[in-house]
């Protein structure tokens, strides 16, 4: 018996094959991917989302990992080819053994049995190599994905946080829903599917090329209506896959839109659940459970309605794919079966033909069967690209021109408008020197808080210019202070770096703002916005002022949750410990006025009046 391969020299043969297939595949794949990234809409979106990962001084590590992954993908293809030849030898040993038994030829039977055990031993070698290859490829692939996810999560998060985009996104025309889900879920899906589709496509093409020779050598003619088709197996598989793929693309195309909608409606439902959790106390006070349940279920019904659309479309898509795959199984036997019974091919040839046909069919069908995966991938890409575009648009929205100074605040020709264009403040000119204190007054809706948003450069409906100290030397205190997740030490020091403030200073400051009960809890991690009362949270904000020592502080109803006595103590504390700090307070209470030297009265119609406190 002769083997189908020279197995003694197969290692060298395979290495020679890899030595020229690998660089050729790498170059061709790079060219095709570059063309797709430049010429297709989804390709340009992919490059916008993740192009930076493949550029820069550290990009060589990325390409090195990609090269290793590609090598192991080609190695897998080569192993599949070798397994097909092994199966030919193995089943031939069984056929020849059966013939030897039938003819009672002991010599042939002994040779067939030896060939059988030799084939099993060879399988052990091939299987061991295959398992080791698969484990190494898995590890390297996961390391590559983790590296990519780290970069992309940092990139998208940093872009979202740059230029106040996370806040100003709400002002663009196409408001971005649930950026948290886009950063977490879509990044994960994008990275995993990118690798899966790219290497799946490359492996499929190389598999087709590799098994084409196998199938070509084994394929016989087919007589169809009196016409003999040479090498019929090759032509059948190509035409069959082409026709079935066209139909599959037509059936699967709506899945792109449906998957995009599904991501949006599920994100809305999840956000509504988070809102209930965050507003649990208010909901409980209002006894609003029935309203919340109705709202949640309405959003969930939208999820289910969309999901049923995906189910119906997937039934058509998968039903078609499963059907054509089952039909494809019989083709090799229809062609080679008659040749086997005529003695033109061996049993091993028949099984290898089936294997080669299946490999080519499955590889060509990759693009058809992966269409639903591509649909989900397009949805994730669109959502990430949409977030990045929204960030760019939000940063391009108008804001006050600013100039950094070492001290003092100067406003020049500041206009503040509502989103509908109605003026709240016209041509505000104001100069404050070190130690000055300004209280802003006016009826509700007159633009007091909006003025602070404009000065903080997060409100896009205003113009003019501001000169003020930069960074943490200008601090804004909102009515409800923000407390980050983590230990109490981090919450009190925010936005300063916690390592820059020692514990003794933190404890002394908490005592000064009447929070001695928290001194021993600096290392406790909790959701402090739920633990502390509004009044305690506002005292935390005043503690931050004492710790950071800014040159300018803007306070928006910063003592509204404190009683008048505590309010007086907090303001007095700031004025005594930071006498050079400029205070600008928005307040309804007249008790706040005594801590300020000037009063800015807003009418809400554009007009304003500046006068010394007490002048009216």
213-266 pLDDT per residue, tens:
777 776 766 666 666 666 666 777 777 777 877 887 788 778 878 887 887 788
525, 489 in Cβ contact below 8 A? no
| C-alpha closest to that of 458 among 180, 181, 162 | 162
Other CB atoms within 10 A of residue 403 CB? 11
Q: Helix, strand, or coil here: 484? A: coil
- Residue 348 pLDDT exceeds 60: yes
193, 384 in Cβ contact below 8 A? no
pLDDT band, very low/low/confident/very high, at 615 (cuts 50, 70, 90)? low
Structure tokens at 556: 């928006």
Mean predicted confidence (pLDDT) in 170-185: 78
Cis peptide before 495 (omega within 30 of 0): yes
Confidence (pLDDT) at 253: 78
455, 411 in Cβ contact below 8 A? yes
Confidence (pLDDT) at 57: 82
How far is residue 235's CA from residue 338's CA, in Å, rounded to a whole number? 18
Give the tens place of pLDDT for each residue, 412-443. Answer: 999 999 988 899 999 999 999 999 999 999 99
Structure tokens at 438: 């300004």
Give the tens place of pLDDT for each residue, 471-487. Answer: 889 999 988 888 888 88
Confidence (pLDDT) at 227: 65
- Residue 118 pLDDT exceeds 60: yes
Give the tens place of pLDDT for each residue, 305-347. Answer: 998 998 988 888 888 878 877 777 777 776 767 777 777 777 7
Give the tens place of pLDDT for each residue, 548-599. Answer: 999 999 999 999 889 999 999 999 999 999 999 999 999 888 889 999 999 9
Cis peptide before 269 (omega within 30 of 0): no
Mean predicted confidence (pLDDT) in 89-110: 78
585, 442 in Cβ contact below 8 A? no
Q: What is the DSSP string of 549-593?
A: --SEEEEESTTTTS-HHHHHHHHHHHHHH-TTSEEEEE-S-GGGG
Phi/psi for 611 (5° steps) reads -150, 160
CA angle in degrees (0–180, nearest 5) for 300-302-304: 70
Beta bridge partners of 222: 229
Structure tokens at 294: 């109705």
Structure tokens at 222: 């087919």
Helix (H) or strand (E) holding 226: none
How far is residue 574's CA from residue 462's CA, in Å, rounded to a whole number? 30
Q: What is the DSSP string of 419-466?
A: TTS-EEEEEEEEEE-TT-EEEEEE-TTSSHHHHHHHHTT--SSEEEEE
- Residue 357 pLDDT exceeds 60: yes
Beta bridge partners of 466: 402, 411
Confidence (pLDDT) at 205: 84
- Residue 515 pLDDT exceeds 90: yes
Confidence (pLDDT) at 577: 93
206, 77 in Cβ contact below 8 A? yes
Beta bridge partners of 415: 463
3-state secondary structure 168-196: HHHHCCCCCCCHHHHHHHHHHHHHHHHHH
Lowest pLDDT segment from 182-191, 276-285, 286-295, 606-615: 276-285
How far is residue 1's CA from residue 13's CA, in Å, rounded to a whole number? 22
Sign of CA pseudo-dihedral 91, 93, 94, 98:
positive
Q: Tell me how far the alpha carbon of residue 142 is from its chain's centroid.
A: 16
How far is residue 207's CA from residue 157's CA, in Å, rounded to a whole number? 39
Confidence (pLDDT) at 223: 64
379, 371 in Cβ contact below 8 A? no
Other CB atoms within 10 A of residue 604 CB? 19
265, 387 in Cβ contact below 8 A? no
541, 557 in Cβ contact below 8 A? no
Confidence (pLDDT) at 375: 77
Give the tens place of pLDDT for each residue, 65-94. Answer: 999 999 999 999 899 888 888 888 788 777
- Residue 356 pLDDT exceeds 70: yes
- Residue 271 or residue 31, greater confidence: 31
26, 86 in Cβ contact below 8 A? no
Percent with pLDDT over 90 in the chain: 40
- Residue 86 or residue 21, greater confidence: 21
- Residue 242 or residue 51, greater confidence: 51
Torsion of CA 33, 36, 42, 44, to 10 degrees: 90
Q: Are strands 474-477 and 552-556 parallel, antiparallel or unpaired?
A: parallel
Q: Helix, strand, or coil here: 416? A: strand
Confidence (pLDDT) at 340: 73
Phi/psi for 580 (5° steps) reads -90, -10
317, 252 in Cβ contact below 8 A? yes
- Residue 354 pLDDT exceeds 80: no
Give the tens place of pLDDT for each residue, 490-512. Answer: 999 998 888 888 889 999 999 99
Sign of CA pseudo-dihedral 375, 377, 383, 385:
negative
Mean predicted confidence (pLDDT) in 17-33: 92
CA angle in degrees (0–180, nearest 5) for 294-295-298: 85
Percent with pLDDT over 70 in the chain: 95
CA angle in degrees (0–180, nearest 5) for 562-568-574: 105
- Residue 267 or residue 495, greater confidence: 495
C-alpha Rg value of the chain to the nearest Å: 36
How far is residue 82's CA from residue 585's CA, in Å, rounded to a whole number? 79
- Residue 300 pLDDT exceeds 80: yes
Mean predicted confidence (pLDDT) in 373-398: 88
Mean pLDDT over each residue of the chain, to the nearest integer:
86
Q: Helix, strand, or coil here: 417? A: strand
Lowest pLDDT segment from 129-143, 348-362, 586-600: 348-362
- Residue 526 pLDDT exceeds 90: no
Alpha-carbon separation of residue 530 from 434, 483, 537 (angstroms)? 36, 10, 10
Confidence (pLDDT) at 221: 66
How far is residue 313's CA from residue 164's CA, in Å, rounded to a whole number? 41
């Amino acid at each position: 018996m002769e083997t189908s391969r020279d197995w003694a020299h197969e290692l060298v043969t395979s290495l020679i094959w890899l030595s020229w297939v690998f660089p050729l595949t790498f170059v061709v794949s790079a060219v095709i991917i570059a063309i797709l990234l430049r010429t297709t809409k989804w390709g340009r979106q992919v490059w916008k989302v993740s192009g930076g990962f493949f550029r820069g001084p550290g990009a060589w590590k990325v390409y090195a990992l990609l090269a290793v992954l590609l090598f192991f993908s080609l190695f897998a293809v080569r192993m599949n080819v070798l397994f097909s030849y092994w199966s030919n030898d193995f089943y031939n040993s069984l056929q020849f053994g059966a013939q030897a038994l039938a003819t009672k030829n002991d010599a042939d039977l002994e040779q067939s049995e030896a060939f059988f055990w030799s084939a099993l031993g060879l399988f052990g070698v091939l299987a061991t190599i295959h398992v080791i290859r698969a484990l190494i490829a898995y590890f390297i692939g996961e390391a590559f994905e983790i590296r990519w996810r780290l970069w992309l999560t940092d990139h998208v998060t940093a872009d979202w946080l740059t230029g106040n985009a996370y806040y100003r996104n709400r002002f663009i025309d196409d408001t971005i829903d649930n950026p948290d889900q886009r950063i977490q879920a879509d990044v994960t899906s994008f990275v995993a599917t990118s690798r899966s589709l790219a290497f799946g496509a490359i492996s499929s093409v190389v598999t087709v090329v590799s098994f084409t020779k196998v199938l070509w050598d084994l394929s016989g003619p087919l007589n169809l209506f009196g016409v003999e088709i040479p090498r019929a197996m090759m032509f059948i598989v190509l035409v069959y896959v082409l026709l079935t793929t066209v139909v599959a693309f037509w059936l699967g195309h709506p899945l792109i839109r449906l998957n995009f909608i599904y991501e949006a409606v599920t994100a809305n439902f999840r956000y509504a659940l988070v809102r209930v959790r965050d507003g649990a106390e208010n909901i409980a006070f209002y006894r609003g459970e029935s309203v919340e349940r109705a709202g949640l279920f309405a959003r969930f019904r939208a999820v289910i309605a969309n999901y049923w659309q995906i189910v119906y479309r997937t039934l058509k898509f998968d039903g078609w794919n499963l059907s054509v795959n089952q039909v494809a199984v019989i083709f090799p036997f229809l062609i080679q079966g008659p040749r086997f019974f005529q003695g033109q091919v061996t049993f091993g040839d028949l099984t290898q033909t089936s294997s080669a046909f299946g490999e080519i069919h499955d590889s060509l069908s990759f693009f058809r069967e992966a269409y639903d995966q591509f649909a989900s991938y397009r949805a994730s890409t669109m959502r990430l690209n949409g977030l990045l575009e929204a960030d760019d648009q939000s940063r391009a929205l108008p804001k006050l021109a600013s100039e950094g100074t070492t001290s003092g605040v100067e406003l020049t020709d500041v206009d503040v408008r509502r989103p509908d264009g109605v003026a709240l403040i016209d041509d505000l000119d104001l100069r404050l020197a070190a130690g000055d204190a300004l209280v802003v007054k006016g009826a509700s809706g007159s633009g007091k808080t909006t003025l602070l948003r404009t000065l903080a450069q997060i409100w896009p409906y205003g113009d003019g210019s501001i000169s003020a100290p930069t960074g943490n030397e200008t601090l804004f205190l909102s009515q409800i202070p923000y407390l980050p997740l983590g230990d109490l030490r981090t919450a009190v020091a925010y936005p300063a770096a916690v390592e820059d403030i020692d514990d003794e200073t933190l404890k002394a400051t908490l005592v000064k703002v009447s929070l001695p009960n928290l001194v021993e809890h600096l290392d406790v991690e909790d959701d402090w916005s739920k633990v502390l009362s509004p009044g305690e949270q506002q005292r935390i904000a005043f503690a931050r002022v004492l710790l950071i020592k800014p040159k300018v502080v803007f306070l928006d109803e910063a003592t509204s949750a404190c009683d008048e006595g505590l309010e007086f103590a907090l303001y007095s504390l700031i004025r005594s410990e930071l006498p050079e700090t400029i205070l600008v307070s928005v307040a309804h209470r007249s008790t706040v006025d005594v801590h300020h030297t000037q009063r800015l009265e807003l009418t809400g119609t554009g007009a304003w009046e500046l006068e010394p406190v007490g002048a009216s």
